[in-house]
Structure 1
Amino acid sequence: MLKRLGYLAGLGTSWLLLGGMAAGAAIGHALPVAGQWLGEHMDATLMLLIVLLLFGVRFDVIVRALGNLRFIGIALALNFVVIPALGYAIASSFLHANPLFMVGLTIYFMAPCTDWFLGFTRLADGDVALGTALMPINMLVQLLLYPLYLYLVTYQVVPVESTLIVTTLLQWFLLPLAVAVVAHLVLRRWLGADRFAHLLAWSDRLTPWVVALLVAQIFADNIAVILEHSGVFGRVLLAVCVFFLATLLLGEWVSRRARLAYPEHALLTMTTAARNAPLMLAVTMTALPEQPLIHAAIVIGMLLEFPHLTLLRHLLLNSRHRLAGSRLHP
């Protein structure tokens, strides 16, 4: 059972999300009352998702990053300065006529992953220890920057009060974050390292199922509005493809310029490619609760992410083998 959950938390997540979209759309279209009921209970699913995401972050490993501040600086500059600007340029180019989808896609682009990128880094023989230290840093920085980013991308599209964003973050994320950190420390002492690691593994594997449930609720409650704009989905997917190609080229260029060793190169490639869609979906649904098109854009972005990360893994390993072969046979 654990292996099946692990598959769906990795390569099968795209299919799980598609299933959530299809099930939600079918329920909302055939049974509108049931779709509305699902929509009315999204807050509970959101809170469960937030708790799982925050509980699974290993904040105690931040000290490991102190041994490689150069890489951390490169990753932070790319993830929180260069890539958000690049993502905004791509989203606005493809979706300037559909500003709500543009906002949603920009939000999807602007936050680096804090969980599953590490699994793909491991599969690509990247630096997992350094990636583990990078995870909580990414989480804290993106939560702190989210109000600023949201204001910058929405001030001409969706009226959002800055005080509301801050209040939302405090109520839905900073307080649960404090609870998650305390629970993390207490349960680790109480259960012991091995049993606590098993609990974290189950938490990580449960997260995609909760995301899929939330996606189903979004589509069930808003299928009529979403279908009215279904013609935009193709442009959203094309923008996501362009974004992934651009981040790949950017990561390759920076890795060469910085002369990163292969493990760090693989880690940089994965952290700049993978996005933190579950957290961005959750925080955006609390900050912008009545914007299903923005939420749908974030969900659509997730569909291509796991096939893309799988492809990156093959490209990285092939490049490593070619480089090893060239050294053996100059």
Structure 2
Amino acid sequence: MDAKEWLRRHQVLVYAVAVALAVVIGVGRPMWATPIEGLINPVLAVLLYVTFLEIPFVRLRRAFTNGRFIGAALGLNFLVVPVVVWGLTRVLPSDRVVLVGVLMVLLTPCIDYVITFTDLADGDAEQLTATTPALMLVQLLLLPVYLWLFVGPEIAAVIEAGPFIEAFVLIIALPLGLAWLTEAGAERSGRVAGWQETLGWFPVPMMGVTLFVVIASQLPRVQNAFDQIVVVVPVYVAFLFVMPLLGRLVSGLFGMDVGERRALVFTSVTRNSLVVLPLGLALPAGYELVPAIIVTQTLVELSGMVVLTRVVPAVLVPAPPADDSQPTIPSGE
């Protein structure tokens, strides 16, 4: 068994070790949180780069024309999710600050590490990659609308395009471009091909590094306000349970294949917390608790994703039996 296959089979162990180390650092060395936080975007960029290297670009070009999947992903994230979020937030206390934090993070679909989680679950990562520009643009346009509807116009007015555009360029477009250059170079150079082959075992370790960096840097922020934000944890957990089921249901209605179904499940449940965090930090006085509420979702979600990378392919969207995948040869009778 090569290193890549061993890591895939033992990925949960790798993630568990990363999370345990992050908790030790986050609790024992909270003063390290700020410098570690500066590593989040670079680490995410490397994670997406090694993930994109797994995607043949001929399939990625084809994915951009799959209107059925893109339409389903947009409908699920911007029509179904807001209804679910509205229902789940009815159980929260009547605290405007808590509501704003929960809405900001749950109404924005992830555009970065969701691709890696989808790939680790043998989902259609290239299709999800092709959908990220639409997900980014539509959430940028609709987040102020939803905040205006659910909270009021004064909160909707502070939403800015900057964090979304910066995240897309640095975490999606740049790694994607570098991966394309690497793939093109591998066709002409044995050295580049060897580099690409070596990086094939990086996705799982890099996801472990990502978990460590995010949790170790954000845990102190949550820990300092835990008694105030503990009320949002059940909402985040419920979202983790409800959305995969709805994603599976919608993918079945659209008649998607197994890879597309898994990808739709992950885009339905994974949220854009690391991108909306700067928006939370930029809110006016009185909303200082919002960043901690957003980060709490990150911690809950990452724990859930470690489980879902196993549960989705094994239970929720299993591969069809081998016989079902074979074409039927008509008899001559």
Q: Tell me how far 1:120 sits from its aligned partner.
A: 1.9
Deviates more, 1:99-108 or 1:54-63: 54-63
1:77 paired residue among 71, 92, 114: 71
Amino acid at match of 1:137: A
| 1:163-194 deviation per Cα after TM superposition (whole angstroms, max 9, x unaligned) | x6322234444256554355445555374223
1:143 aligned partner: 136
- Partner of 1:288, secondary structure, is helix
CA contact (8 A) 1:59 1:136 kept: no
Match for residue 152 of structure 1 among 145, 150, 156: 145
Deviation at 1:270, TM superposition (A): 0.4
Return the offset for 1:49: 2.6
Q: Give the Cα–Cα distance (whole angstroms) in 2 for the partners of residues 169 and 49 of structure 1.
A: 17
Q: For residues 47 and 156 of structure 2, what CA distance do their matches in structure 1 show?
A: 25
Q: Assess, with a 3 A threshold, how the Cα gap between structure 1 residues 101 and 116 changes in structure 2: closer, same or farther.
A: same
Residue 16 of structure 1 and its aligned partner are, at CA, apart by 5.1
In structure 2, runs of 5+ residues without a counterpart are: 93-97, 282-287, 329-333
Cα deviation 1:234-259 (Å, max 9, x = unaligned): 3321232112212122222222xxxx
Moved more, 290-299 or 276-285: 276-285
What is the Cα deviation at residue 65 of structure 1? Answer: 5.1
* Aligned CA distance change for structure 1 residues 42 and 86 (closer, same or farther; 3 Å): farther
Which among 262, 273, 290 is matched to residue 270 of structure 1? 262
Map residues 1-330 of structure 1 onto 2, 5 A cutoff: 5-6=7-8, 10-12=11-13, 15=16, 18-19=19-20, 22-23=23-24, 26-27=27-28, 34-35=29-30, 37-56=31-50, 57-58=52-53, 61-64=56-59, 72-96=66-90, 97=92, 98-99=98-99, 100-107=101-108, 113-121=114-122, 131-155=124-148, 156=151, 159=155, 165-174=160-169, 179-181=174-176, 183-185=178-180, 187=182, 189=185, 191-199=191-199, 201-202=201-202, 205-255=205-255, 260=256, 265-275=257-267, 280-289=272-281, 291-315=291-315, 316-317=317-318, 320=321
Of residues 109-118 and 79-88 in structure 1, the stretch that sits farther from structure 2 once superposed is 109-118
Task: Provide the TM-score with structure 1 as the length reference.
Answer: 0.72
Q: Give secondary structure in 1 for the equivalent of 2:114.
A: coil
User: Could you say if the C-alpha distance between residues 245 and 320 of structure 1 is closer, same or farther in structure 2, counting changes exceeding 3 Å?
Assistant: same
CA distance in 2, matches of 1:38, 1:276: 33
Residues 63-94 of structure 1: per-residue CA shift (max 9 Å, x gap): 43565777x21111111222332222212211
The structure richer in helix per residue is: 1
Distance 2:119 2:234 in 1: 29
| TM-score, normalisation: structure 2 | 0.72
Match of 1:211, as an amino acid?
A: L
Q: SS state of the match for residue 137, structure 1?
A: helix
* Percent identity for Structure 1 against Structure 2: 8
Distance (Å, rounded) in 2 between the aligned partners of 1:110 and 1:23: 29
Q: CA RMSD in A?
A: 3.9
Residues 312 and 207 of structure 1: CA distance in aligned 2, closer, same or farther (over 3 Å):
closer
Where in structure 1 are there 5+ consecutive unaligned residues?
28-33, 123-130
| AA of the residue aligned to 2:68 | I
Q: For the residues of structure 2 that align with 1:176 and 1:202, how far apart are their CA atoms?
A: 17
Q: 1:270 to 1:177 in 2, by over 3 A?
A: closer
Residues 247, 273 of structure 1: 8 Å contact kept: yes
Secondary structure of the 2:160 match is helix
Please list the CA deviations of residues 261-291 of structure 1 after superposition, one character each: whole Å capped at 9, or x if unmatched: xxxx211220111149888232122333361
